Structure 1
Amino acid sequence: MSAIKVMVVDDSAVVRQVVAGLLGAAPGIEVLAAVADPLLAIERLRQAWPDVIVLDVEMPRMDGITFLRKIMAERPTPVVICSTLTEKGARTTLEALAAGAVAIVTKPRLGLKQFLAEAGDELVATVRAAARANVRRLAPRADAAVQPVAPKNTADVILAPAGPRAMTQTTERVIALGTSTGGTQALEEVLSALPRVCPGIVIVQHMPEKFTAAFATRLDGLCRIEVREARHNDRVVPGRALIAPGGKHLLLKRSGAQYVVDVVDGPVVNRHRPSVDVLFRSVAKSAGVNALGVIMTGMGDDGAAGLAEMRAAGARTLAQDEESCVVFGMPKEAIKRGGVERTVPLQGIAAEIMKQ
């Protein structure tokens, strides 16, 4: 296979040096150019077009959002956003995701060189995933996420597996959605298609701290249902979707006749916190046959084991089909492990949620 060709666009000389060095040292990746702003990038694009662009969003002369929109209109290309972990950075990054970016890599304001060196594996993995993205799905809507690099724990570090048929059937249903790369775009499409009255929904979207609150607020403004970042002991009720906060695990539990959520710290699971496997296992234990589990676009295998546990507990289980995924990794793994009853296109998921 030919090398993945990458362009780095960032006004920080340190970021350009470190990112270009990390990517250039990775097998199968070639850095075509590392430039200080979008106007210089446009000049270099006339000479050679990369497979992936790593882009800062706050730059002089031309901001990253304007440049991104220009790229997506002229020649759609996978773009990884390099963003700071601030509220302002989160809002700007969500604009970039809405304009068609694939993924987020976060950078701190201080200790940048050390941070980027330590996060090298994450950066390389994110660029590789972006290179495999289904560019046809990169419409100017929204997108997501990153792949934190950490020990690959299982959900056992958070909670024990469910017993067989953990719950008897009731009239109250719970929908559990898990997604990663490409997921913000996919979630926007699914949630905005739902009527005001629909089953309660719990969601894990792989996304950094500070970004999930801004993402939930954005979705809440676009949807008929209520969408918000989950808080400890929030009730799961019809017409409400709760999104796991970045950096925390989300668990469903039964409290009397009600479903509520736990928002907890704990080790990363499948290199993620929040983890889809943790959410799905908790839904298998607390809702069982009363649940629907849906695994959507994303790289890696987080959620594959948990969806199999949900199916074993009597839940309905679905996977987003390959054609509509930005990255088919997570659904593909769930199918391989036997956790998926059937696949459905993205535009069909809302209808499945509304089935009795």
Structure 2
Amino acid sequence: MSLLEVRDLRVAFNTPDGVLEAVRGLSFDVDRGSTLAIVGESGSGKSVATQTITGLTTGARVTGSARFDGTELIGASPEVLRGIRGARIGMIFQDPLSSLHPYYKVGWQIVEMIRAHDRGVSTDAARRRAAELLAVVGIPHAQSRIDDYPHQFSGGMRQRVMIAMAMALDPVLLIADEPTTALDVTVQAQVLSVMRRLQEEFGTAIILITHDLGVVAEMSDEVVVMYAGAAMERAPRRTLFYANHHPYTEGLLGSLPAQGGVRARLTPILGVPPSLIDLPQGCPFAPRCPYAFDRCRSETPPLRRVFDDPDHDSACWLPTVLSEREALRSARAQGDLERIQAGAAEPLSRPTTEGASMTADEVSP
């Protein structure tokens, strides 16, 4: 049994404009000591999903299941959730400056968190523990800096304080929401190194929420790609980078700068994500997809096994055979999708971004 098992998680909010479906049928597992990365553009539902698991989306309509070490978190009482948050599930929030209280010293905040879960720990003992944690995450002169306020730390140091607070009670699961946002590459590498060291020392599982695929390549074991509130692709890290299936994943990787001059220019994903209040019919990525055909606009593809790999799922109607999918990828790169298909039917009126057009018969699996 996995440490965390999420099944068909759905999160919706009532708004003046209608129901906003922030998370739509998300499922994933996190094993002990492993790292799961959840990636996608802003607004794809990454943060909402993990905040819902820990009971932090007040007012949302939530269905589905999130079983943590045998305990069901969806619908659990506030007392149960308070006993798990911090003690067994640590959280690093996206903006440490707004997550840390500006009126209180960082040491006081760590001490309060420790004693909130264990009143048997004295204030002096908790303070010593706080100083030890700050030293572990690489803050120099931790014994004196424990009495500094959050604004006296740099962005990278504040993020380290958040990591120290999240790890104070040795949680078995750490949820890190954009832990390297707005940090320069040197500080980013230091923060990731701290997280890796803590994971190796304590065997902590990590859910890493990010849009930085470089961080994903360095840290993750498995990756879930989200778009418009749903999982588009789920695969081990190496598989996702070298044998991905979904066009959205392909687009994310194509938007990355290449090293060594392999790719002459970036290939952005055209268009914008859809409104979560008024989703398009069929595949949510179809309006932006260069491979889209008729079926994509009428039927929503399920998350299904692809490339005959039990660990690789994709929500896409493109062929599930690796050679056929690679042939389409190659044809698109050459701007010649039509030529590679035999017996082309009437093409769609909307051309692809490469100037070619496709039909349902051409690419149906």
Q: Same fold (TM over 0.5)?
A: no
Bigger RCO of structures 1 and 2 (CA < 8 A, at least 6 apart): 2
**Which interval holds the TM-score relative to the shorter structure?**
under 0.3
Q: With structure 2 as the length reference, what TM-score do the two structures score? A: 0.26
Larger Rg: 2
